[in-house]
Amino acid sequence: MSIAKDAKDLAKGMLQGLMGKAVAMAPDSWIPGGEPDPLIRVRHGHVGKPVSRIDGPLKVAGAAPFAAEFPMEGMVYAALVYSTIAKGRILAINVAQAEAAPGVRAVMTYRNAPRIARPPVFMSDQKAAGGDDLPVMQEDFVRWNGEPVAVVLADTQEQADHATTLVAVSYELETPMTDFASAKDAGTRTAVFMGQALHQEIGDAEKALAAAAFRVDSHYSTPRHSHNAIELHAVTAAWIGGVLRLHDASQLVAHTAWSLGQMFGIPEDKVVVTSPFVGGGFGGKCLWQHQVLASMAAKLVGRPVRMVLSREGVYRIVGGRALTEQRVALAADAEGKLKAVVHTGTTAKTASNMMAEPFIVATRSMYESETFKLDVQVVELDMLANTFMRAPGEAVGTFALECAMDELAEALDIDPVELRIRNEPEMDPTSGLPFSSRNVVEAWRTGAERFGWSRRSAVPGTVRDGEWLVGMGCATGTYPYYRMPGGAARITLNAEGRASIDIAAHEMGMGTATAQTQVAAERLGLPMGAVSFHYGDSTLPGVVLAGGSQQTASIGASVIAAHRALVKELLAMAGNDSPLAGLKPDEVASRDGGLCRIDDPARHETYVSILSRAGKGSISAEGEAPMPLETQHWSMHSHAAMFCEARVNSVTGEVRIARFLGSFDCGRILNPKTAASQLRGGIIMGLGLALMEETQFDERNGRIVNASLSEYHVPVHMDVPDIDLIWTDIADPHTPMGARGIGEIGITGTAAAVANAVYNATGKRIRDLPITLDKLL
Amino acid sequence: MTMTMTVNGSPVSLPHDARVSLLDLVREHLHLPGTKKGCNQGACGACTVLVDGERILSCLALAVQFEGRSVTTIEGVGTPGALHPLQAAFIEHDGFQCGYCTPGQICSAIGMAQEIRRGVPSHVTADLAAPDIAPTRDELRERMSGNLCRCGTHNGIIDAIAEIVSADVLLPEPAQ
Ligand code: FES
Ligand code: FES
């Protein structure tokens, strides 16, 4: 089944590949972003100002409503029973005692659950949102350890929780494949990601490796990870007059509405998903079984259902990042010029999803080399489907690549910063495309200067402060610019000259509402207070995923399109009595609360005046973003030079991060205040990746062992030093606003910078994450 | 006879079901959802509230234990229109992103500041005999480490708390 899925995906990919060639060759002016966004030239407006979050007062007062905080009339509470085997048949489920418990309204199992179709799995269709395509409580069969097998519905959460302990399930166990090594022995295959085989060879890299004067060749591993947003996954679901109404915590409301519509066999406009505030996402707040089960349960009991997963429940049914085993081999001449880059390895997925952790993607565009060999092999395990987690591919791929660069620098006796600068490519080394904007060398130089890199001792283990060994390390971080198809937005202007922007986008803490209000105000020539930004509602225009760091670009391109449509309609409305009479949309700009001629701002009429003369209360225009062809015409990537100073206790092996600097080249920064938080947030998750994070998976039975925040360690205040940030702020001429998304880049390169600092401090090279103290003793 | 406590100054009757946690009492029964549930097992700090001025994890407390006690939740600390200075400092220093851990961080910081003032030492307090504990950044970090933030706004949170603590604006007692 999954092979067929891959084949379909590959066929689609091949078609895209052919189209891609044509797009690459097309003149710039045919491509979105070929003409720079005029906003890039505006340097002293709203964009670029450190505006405090507009939803700040609500959030600090606890008044921002999250998904579990929408009470509904007659609502019942749900609690889940999870399977305790990885694969097998349910022989019996005894629910009689649970049904008889006080307050219990119903117990849903595969026997009485409403019949629905399978979830459309993410990436199988433009709006598919499912974490996997497994049937949801439809059969007597269990496919992962932790799959929900019963839902108890009761008047209170306490009653529901208690009744779950009264449900007795017996299973006929089948032998699951839960062991990575055995699965590899049984055979791997080449992974496919977004329609492309994760395999690329340029020249004969192995031969170049064997022949080179200098080489390193090592294996690295990274474990499973969990997103662990602090907000528990929660949903409040109700059927109201044939419409399924969901208060969700979601980073893809439009996708969720469509996917649930497919499953329940109803049109997507009969599903309304809202999600005004999301308590952290990082790739984890997509469509998993809880939204489906809550919708089914609401149907079964004819009442609204609130389902809040327990923390353990999140680990059981919301997938995380898959493990990887990677080999990186690099070869160079005596000057440090790369002759070969080999980055290969294996990861795990399930048969029910399309997500192979693409750990080679960063390596494609990072350094110039004569030869490349890139390859991801995959095995399928009987486990909860893995998924996207902050910088899928890059987060763990840059760990291996950038540790290897550090190892190569030592072998060559060249400074690690210098080695990277020497291998800076002129054009994308594997696609041959020109870069849209690439200033990583500047990021390296300014970063090294500010961090005091020249004070680093090149000889490991030589700097001591009492019982602490001190070291410095660095690494490159990188994340691409993405923009997905489907963006659309609506702008409405009213007679008072106020604007509202409507788009089905998301605010999970990235500062979307704030930054996009700044951008829209600038674009419309209005004060920020006159603009309201509406989002988080599937009934609004656009299919906008808050993922892949693409939301900023997607909203930007959609609002540009809507603005263009609005200007056209305003000019038509203004008519011949306006100072704007006779002007074409291309000849006017939005300024000072109205439109003016670009090169003659005195020819101006306010929106208020245009509307009042026409006797209209408001005007509304919708626009669709063009296909994101720019990503096939240019190689579009952000970069970061990451610097870390680590202290390692020579007695206990404890690692402390003393200093950290991220020097970024990620396009224009729309709001330095919220951007700094996003970049730091990524780096801090990178510190967790480096030092402590691991979802422990029992390979005997496929069960996650540390399903709690006490046993899955994330960085706490004491683990986080003051993190220094600088950025080039160089606008990318080919993206909306000149910006590239910044939600994920912070986690890339960070783990390698830490590992390299630990090596510099101790002389111990830890290639298996996390770098826990036992590995340093 | 109904037993009562006060929540943000108002009398509240204790639940009949002894299993109801203080957290669920405020969230589900009193419809004060500002106090957040991040784990329900004492690991994240999102549910921190103040009881008679001391910070506790409300998910680990049964509501019926609190007869006669005075509970302050984030709703009692300040409102969007009338923010507590610490809440304003969180906005100024961008001490949050998603905002989910934020009410817990703020309540925790208020309780923590009192602990420092009372001279309660921490793991990083250098001089246990000193009359006053200096609220250094590490002192604040150590004491706030029970409040997780997955968005990674640790720097902003410590900046906000440090501003209030070091400006010697004694953290005012929250409104009762
Ligand atoms: S919800 Fe109480 S500590 Fe996490
Ligand atoms: S602001 Fe999101 S968890 Fe702290």
Question: Strands, E, within chain B: which ranges?
Answer: 4-7, 10-13, 48-51, 54-57, 70-72
Task: Measure CB to CB from residue B79 to each of A61, A65, A673 and give the nearest one.
Answer: A61
What is the structure's pLDDT at A469? 98
Q: Is B164 on the interface with A (CB under 8 A)?
A: no
Whether A470 contacts A759, CB under 8 Å: no
What is the structure's pLDDT at B130? 84
Ligand nearest to the CA of B23: 1
Q: A653 is written with which tokens?
A: 């092996």
Ligand nearest to the CA of B150: 2
Closest-CA residue of chain A to B92: A52
Q: How far is the CA of A415 from the centre of ligand 1 (A)?
A: 46
Interface predicted TM-score (ipTM) of this complex, two decimals: 0.97
Pocket of ligand 2 (CB under 6 A): A 230, 280, 509; B 96-102, 149-151, 153
Percent of chain A at pLDDT > 70 equals 98
> pLDDT at residue B1 above 90?
no
A60/B146 CB distance under 8 A = no
> Looking at beta carbons, which residues of chain A come within 8 Å of B140?
717
Q: How far is the CA of B44 from the centre of ligand 1 (A)?
A: 5
Query: What does DSSP say about strands A655-665 and A600-606: parallel, antiparallel, or unpaired?
Result: unpaired
pLDDT 10s digits, A337-374: 999 999 999 999 999 999 999 999 999 999 999 999 99
CA of B79 vs chain A CAs: smallest distance (Å):
5
What is the structure's pLDDT at A6? 67
A672-691 and A750-762 helices cross at what angle (nearest 10)?
50
Single-letter residue type at A176? P
Of the listed ranges A20-24, A212-216, B161-165, the one predicted with least confidence: A20-24
> Looking at beta carbons, which residues of chain A come within 8 Å of B33?
62, 65-66, 68-69
Q: How far is the CA of A358 from the centre of ligand 2 (A)?
A: 27
> pLDDT at residue A1 above 50?
no
Whether A81 contacts A131, CB under 8 Å: no
Tell which B residues from 84 to 143 touch A, by Cβ distance under 8 Å.
87-88, 90-92, 94, 96-103, 106, 124, 137-138, 140-142
> pLDDT at residue A414 above 50?
yes
Query: Average pLDDT in the A453-460 region?
Result: 97
Grouping H, G, I as helix, E, B as strand and the rest as coil, residue A203 is coil
What is the structure's pLDDT at A2? 56
User: Measured from the CB, is residue B22 less than 6 Å from ligand 1?
Assistant: no
Whether A357 contacts A396, CB under 8 Å: yes
Closest-CA residue of chain B to A280: B98
A685/B36 CB distance under 8 A = no
User: Measured from the CB, is residue B170 less than 6 Å from ligand 1?
Assistant: no
> Which is the catalytic residue, given A357, A380, A402, A744?
A744
* Sign of the torsion formed by the C-alpha atoms of A487, A735, B156 and A49: negative
Tell which B residues from 132 to 161 touch A, by Cβ distance under 8 Å.
137-138, 140-142, 144-158
Closest-CA residue of chain A to B27: A69
Q: A564 is written with which tokens?
A: 């263009």
CATH 3.10.20.30, chain B: domain bounds: 4-77
Q: Is B16 on the interface with A (CB under 8 A)?
A: no
> Looking at beta carbons, which residues of chain A come within 8 Å of B41?
311, 708-710
Contacts with A249 (C-beta within 8 Å, 6 or more apart), sequence order: A66, A67, A231, A233, A234, A235, A275, A278, A279, A281, A285
Q: Following DSSP, what letter does each residue of A608-634 receive, concatenated?
A: HHHHHHHT-SEEEEEEEPPP-THHHHS
pLDDT mean across residues, chain A: 96
CA of A716 vs chain B CAs: smallest distance (Å):
5
Tell me, rounded to whole angstroms, the distance of Cα A415 from its chain centroid: 33
Single-letter residue type at A453? W
Any idea how long chain B is?
Answer: 176
Residue A309 confidence class, pLDDT cut points 50, 70, 90: very high
In the 8-state DSSP scheme, what is residue A513? H
B85-92 and B154-166 helices cross at what angle (nearest 10)?
140
Q: CB-based burial of residue A592 (10 Å sphere; 0-12 exposed, 13-18 middle, 19+ buried)?
A: exposed
Closest-CA residue of chain A to B36: A231
Q: How far is the CA of A770 from the centre of ligand 2 (A)?
A: 23
Whether A229 contacts A285, CB under 8 Å: yes
What does the alpha-carbon distance between residue A323 and residue A297 come to, in Å, rounded to a whole number? 34
What is the structure's pLDDT at A11? 66
User: Measured from the CB, is residue B38 less than 6 Å from ligand 1?
Assistant: yes
Domains annotated for chain A, with CATH where assigned, are 17-53+484-627 (3.30.365.10), 67-82+87-175+227-317 (3.30.365.10), 393-482+632-775 (3.30.365.10)
> Looking at beta carbons, which residues of chain A come within 8 Å of B72?
none
Whether B41 contacts A708, CB under 8 Å: yes
Cis peptide before A770 (omega within 30 of 0): yes
> Looking at beta carbons, which residues of chain A come within 8 Å of B37?
68, 232, 308
Residue A42 confidence class, pLDDT cut points 50, 70, 90: confident
Tell which one of B39, B55, B101, B107 to mutate to probe ligand 1, the residue whose CB is within 8 A of the most ligand atoms: B39
> pLDDT at residue A12 above 80?
no
User: Measured from the CB, is residue B44 less than 6 Å from ligand 1?
Assistant: yes
Of the listed ranges A223-232, A683-692, B31-40, B162-171, the one predicted with least confidence: B162-171
> Looking at beta carbons, which residues of chain A come within 8 Å of B149?
230
What is the structure's pLDDT at B166? 75
- Nearest ligand 1 atom to the CA of B146 is 3
Residue A13 confidence class, pLDDT cut points 50, 70, 90: low
A744 labelled catalytic: yes
What does the alpha-carbon distance between residue A768 and residue A751 come to, in Å, rounded to a whole number? 11
Task: Measure CB to CB from residue A59 to each of B96, B138, B150 and give the nearest one.
Answer: B96
What is the structure's pLDDT at A21? 82
B74/A231 CB distance under 8 A = no
Burial annotation A76-97 (CB, 10 A radius, 16+ → b, else e): bbbbbbbbebbbbebeebebee
- Nearest ligand 2 atom to the CA of A279 is 2
Burial annotation A714-735 (CB, 10 A radius, 16+ → b, else e): bbbbbbbbebbbbbbbbbbbbb
Grouping H, G, I as helix, E, B as strand and the rest as coil, residue A447 is helix
Whether B12 contacts B61, CB under 8 Å: no
pTM of the model: 0.97
Which CATH number is associated with domain B85-166?
1.10.150.120
Q: How far is the CA of B95 from the centre of ligand 2 (A)?
A: 9
Name the β-bridge partners of A343. Answer: A328, A374
Q: A117 is written with which tokens?
A: 């179709």
Query: Average pLDDT in the A325-333 region?
Result: 98
- Cβ atoms within 10 Å of A746's Cβ, excluding its own: 30
- Nearest ligand 2 atom to the CA of A509 is 2
Whether B146 contacts B103, CB under 8 Å: no
pLDDT 10s digits, A606-659: 999 999 999 999 999 999 999 999 999 999 999 999 999 999 999 999 999 999
Residue A254 confidence class, pLDDT cut points 50, 70, 90: very high
Its CATH class, for the domain covering B4-77, is: alpha beta
Contacts with A617 (C-beta within 8 Å, 6 or more apart), sequence order: A494, A495, A611
What does the alpha-carbon distance between residue B23 and residue A69 come to, in Å, rounded to a whole number? 13
What does the alpha-carbon distance between residue B138 and residue B120 come to, in Å, rounded to a whole number? 15
What does the alpha-carbon distance between residue A178 and residue A383 come to, in Å, rounded to a whole number? 7
Query: Average pLDDT in the A12-26 region?
Result: 77
What is the structure's pLDDT at A109? 98
Give the position of tokens 């480096």. A690
Residue A15 confidence class, pLDDT cut points 50, 70, 90: low
Name the β-bridge partners of B27. Answer: none
Question: Looking at ligand 1, which residue's alpha carbon is closest to its atom 3?
Answer: B42
Closest-CA residue of chain B to A63: B34
What does the alpha-carbon distance between residue B118 and residue B112 come to, in Å, rounded to a whole number? 10
What does the alpha-carbon distance between residue A216 and residue A225 come to, in Å, rounded to a whole number? 28
pLDDT 10s digits, B78-104: 999 999 999 999 999 999 999 999 999
Residue B170 confidence class, pLDDT cut points 50, 70, 90: low
Q: Is B162 on the interface with A (CB under 8 A)?
A: no
What does the alpha-carbon distance between residue A742 and residue A722 come to, in Å, rounded to a whole number? 19
pLDDT 10s digits, A169-211: 999 999 999 999 999 999 999 999 988 899 999 999 999 999 9
Whether B38 contacts B46, CB under 8 Å: yes
> pLDDT at residue A502 above 50?
yes
Q: Following DSSP, what letter does each residue of A697-726 receive, concatenated?
A: EETTTTEES--STTTS----GGG--PEEEE
Contacts with B165 (C-beta within 8 Å, 6 or more apart), sequence order: B113, B116, B135, B140, B171
Q: Is B55 on the interface with A (CB under 8 A)?
A: no
> Looking at beta carbons, which residues of chain A come within 8 Å of B145?
716-718
Q: A219 is written with which tokens?
A: 């294996």
> Looking at beta carbons, which residues of chain A come within 8 Å of B148?
230, 709, 714, 716
Tell me the CA distances in angstroms from B121 to A465, A564, B125, one per residue in order.
25, 62, 6
Question: Looking at ligand 2, which residue's alpha carbon is closest to its atom 4?
Answer: B149
Distance in Å from the first CA to the final CA of chain B? 25
What is the structure's pLDDT at B131? 83
Task: Measure CB to CB from residue B145 to each of A674, A685, A717 and give the nearest one.
Answer: A717
What does the alpha-carbon distance between residue B37 and residue B23 come to, in Å, rounded to a whole number? 8
Name the β-bridge partners of A325. Answer: A221, A346
Ligand nearest to the CA of A66: 2
Give the position of tokens 């489906």. A292
What is the structure's pLDDT at A152? 98
Distance in Å from the first CA to the final CA of chain A? 46
Give the position of tokens 């506790």. B56
pLDDT mean across residues, chain B: 93
CATH 1.10.150.120, chain B: domain bounds: 85-166
Give the position of tokens 């001591």. A464
Query: Average pLDDT in the B129-148 region?
Result: 94
